[in-house]
Amino acid sequence: MTVKAAVAGATGYAGGELLRLLLAHPDVEIGALTAASSAGTSLGAHQPHLGPLADRLVQKTTAATLTGHDVVFLALPHGHSGGIAAELGRNTLVIDLGADHRLKNSSDWEQWYGNEHAGTWPYGLPELPGGRERLRGATRIAVPGCFPTGGSLALAPAIASGLVKPEVTIVSITGTSGAGRSLKPHLLGSEVMGSASAYGVGGAHRHTPEFVQNLSAVADGPVTVSFTPVLAPMPRGILTTASAPLSGETGLDAVRSVYDKAYGDEPFVSLLPEGVWPTTAATVGSNMVHLQVGVDSSAGRLVVVSAIDNLTKGTAGGAVQSMNIALGLPETAGLPMTGVAP
C-alpha cells in the first residue's frame, strides 16, 4: 500500500521534520509541498537538510493544490487549518498539526485563541486510554500540542489509577523551535544563549486547557493543572517535571508497577530503569517518550519526569504515528526509536 501525502507548511520547522520522517516511510510518496509567503521558491532554500526534495517547488497553500492526495498534513499556524480542511473531501485523511481541532469545548478555543472554533477531531495521542480506537479509520486527526504530549503521558497512568489527587503541577523546559520559524526578537541567538526564561506564567499558556482536557478524561472528573513553560537555550527538546499529591501511602515499587502496566507494550514510551533520569539529548530525532517516576515521601507527592523531542514525538512524529494507525499501516513505520548523539 502506497499513500500519496501532501504537506502544507512545508518550509516551517514542523513541516521540515514531517518531510524528514516521510522520506524514510516505506509506504509514502511525497506529493505537493505548499506554503504561504515562500511559495514559488525551492524547498532547498528553506530545508537544506532535505536533499532528496531540495529541487522541489513550493506551491501556494490552496485546497485545489492539496486535493487528490490520500493524506494531507496541515503544518500551519493556529487558526489557519479549519478553512482549508473544510474544502477537502472526506475521503482524504487530513491531519492537523496546529491547534485548530484539539479542544472539545468551543468556549475554551474562543477564550484561548480568539476566533471561531473549527470543530473537534479525534485526538492523535494513541498512548492515552482509548486513543488508538478513536484513530483507526479516522479521516480527520488533531495532533496534540508538544507540551501536552509529554506532560499528559507523564501523569495519565497515575491519575487514571487513583494514585494521585487531581491537582497537578507541570513545569516544562523547552527548546526554541517550539515557537516556530518566524522571526521573533526574544528568540534571537543573542537573547537566548546563556539564558533561561519562564513565560505564560500563572495559567496563561494556551496548552493549559489541553492538559486539563486530557487529564480530566482519564480521571473521569475535573483535574486542575498549573502549567509553567520555560524557554532554554537549545534548539529542540522538552523536559517536563510533573507532580501531584499522592492519594495515600504509596511506595516507588507500586508506582512503577502502575506505569509498567500502562506503558509496557507501548513502542514509543520507555520507562527508564530505576535511578536513570530522562534527558532531552537522548530523544533528539526520535519518536520516543522517556519517563522516570519518583516518590517524594516527605512532601507526599509523586514526581514524574519526561523527555521528548518537541518536533518529533511532540509534533511531526505524532502526526505520522496517527496516520499509520488511521490507515492500518504498521504503527512504527517511518518512525525512529533511537536518538542522535552527541
CATH number of the CATH domain containing 42: 3.40.50.720
Grid coordinates given for 264:
509496557
Is 68 in the same domain as 210? no
The CA distance from 24 to 21, in Å, is: 5
Say if residue 19's pLDDT is above 70: yes
Domain that holds residue 168: 147-308
Segment 93-116 mean pLDDT: 93
Residue 146 a catalytic site member: yes
Is 95 in the same domain as 117? yes
- Asked if residue 336 is part of any domain, the answer here is no
What is the pLDDT, as a whole number, of residue 179? 77
Does residue 271 sit in helix, strand or coil?
strand
What is the pLDDT, as a whole number, of residue 191? 82
Is 157 in the same domain as 282? yes
Q: 8 to each of 32, 71, 72, 206, how far by Cα in Å?
A: 8, 11, 7, 23
Structure confidence by residue, pLDDT tens digits, 136-177: 999 999 999 999 999 999 999 999 999 999 999 999 999 988
Grid coordinates given for 59:
506551491
- Asked if residue 337 is part of any domain, the answer here is no
Segment 81-103 mean pLDDT: 95
Mean pLDDT (the chain, rounded): 95
What is the pLDDT, as a whole number, of residue 182? 73
The CA distance from 7 to 98, in Å, is: 13
Segment 265-284 mean pLDDT: 98
Say if residue 190's pLDDT is above 80: no
Segment 66-71 mean pLDDT: 98
The CA distance from 253 to 234, in Å, is: 34
Segment 322-332 mean pLDDT: 98
Segment 316-325 mean pLDDT: 98
- Go through 64-92 and write b for each residue having 16 or more CB atoms within 10 A of its CB, e for each that does not: ebbeebbbbbbbbebbbbbebbeebeeeb
Segment 61-90 mean pLDDT: 95
Is 63 in the same domain as 185? no
From 88, 138, 141, 146, the catalytic residue:
146
Is 184 in the same domain as 288? yes
CATH number of the CATH domain containing 151: 3.30.360.10
Q: 238 with 280: CB under 8 angstroms?
A: yes
Q: How many domains does the chain have?
A: 2
Segment 1-20 mean pLDDT: 96
Grid coordinates given for 165:
489527587
Is 188 in the same domain as 86? no
- Asked if residue 332 is part of any domain, the answer here is no
What is the pLDDT, as a whole number, of residue 128? 97
What is the pLDDT, as a whole number, of residue 220? 81
Residue the block writes with cell 537566548: 192
121 phi, psi to nearest 5 deg: -115, 160
Q: 301 with 246: CB under 8 angstroms?
A: yes
Confidence of residue 342 (pLDDT cuts 50, 70, 90): confident
Is 109 in the same domain as 86? yes
- Asked if residue 339 is part of any domain, the answer here is no
Structure confidence by residue, pLDDT tens digits, 202-259: 988 999 999 999 999 999 899 999 999 999 999 999 999 999 999 998 899 999 999 9
Using DSSP bridges, classify how beta strands 93-96 and 71-74 pair: parallel, antiparallel or unpaired. parallel
- Asked if residue 169 is part of any domain, the answer here is yes
Confidence of residue 183 (pLDDT cuts 50, 70, 90): low
Is 172 in the same domain as 270? yes
Q: Find, among 202, 224, 213, the residue nearest to 148 by Cα.
A: 213
